[in-house]
Homo-oligomer: A and B are copies of this chain.
């Protein structure tokens, strides 16, 4: 399915294989198993390492590099979130900051346009701040928070719309 997700098939295949593999695997094993070129495996491994979804593990008495995947699903989700943040959100924030700066100095820009750009910027600021903070909370508490679902609203004093 990875092709829909923005990662190419090879990367998704290698990740899936390592995620389900009981033992560490080396590039050749992966290449043989999936029937894709070694160079392709090499690049896929590099990308997965960059995302921190897999890591190298040394095997005593073997020169080849072996890899294992992160198997904790929450940890995996956090790392994907971090990767997407760095690759997608941060550049978007830089871009929109530039846009806002340019729009402010440009008398040809309608005020509504500047306002929408600013709102977008504010949204990105708020949500990334939220993400940064949530990233710091221990996983167990994160899991419990998700488990609560919308009950958090009632547990906080949000009921009557009153400010905290």
Contacts and interface: CB of A to CB of B under 8 A. Distances in A.
Nearest to A99: B20
A36 to B, nearest CB: 21
Contacts of A113: 20, 22
Given A92-B1, A149-B130, A150-B134, A116 B156 contact: no
A139 B164 CA distance: 16
A149 B120 contact: no
Contact of A1 (B4, B95, B145): B95
A77 interface: yes
Given A1-B95, A110-B22, A158-B144, A150 B123 contact: no
Contacts of A147: 126, 130
Interface in A27-74: 71, 73-74
A13 to B, nearest CB: 14
Mostly helix, strand, loop or mixed at chain A's interface? Answer: helix
Contact of A91 (B1, B19, B117, B140): B1
Interface of A: 1, 4-6, 19-20, 22, 71, 73-74, 77, 87-88, 91-92, 95, 110, 112-113, 116-117, 119-120, 122-123, 126-127, 129-130, 133-134, 136-137, 140-141, 143-150, 152-153, 155-156, 158, 161, 164
26 contacts: A1-B92, A4-B6, A4-B88, A4-B91, A20-B113, A22-B110, A22-B112, A71-B116, A73-B120, A74-B123, A77-B127, A126-B147, A129-B149, A130-B149, A133-B150, A136-B150, A140-B161, A141-B158, A144-B164, A145-B152, A145-B156, A145-B158, A148-B156, A148-B164, A155-B156, A156-B156
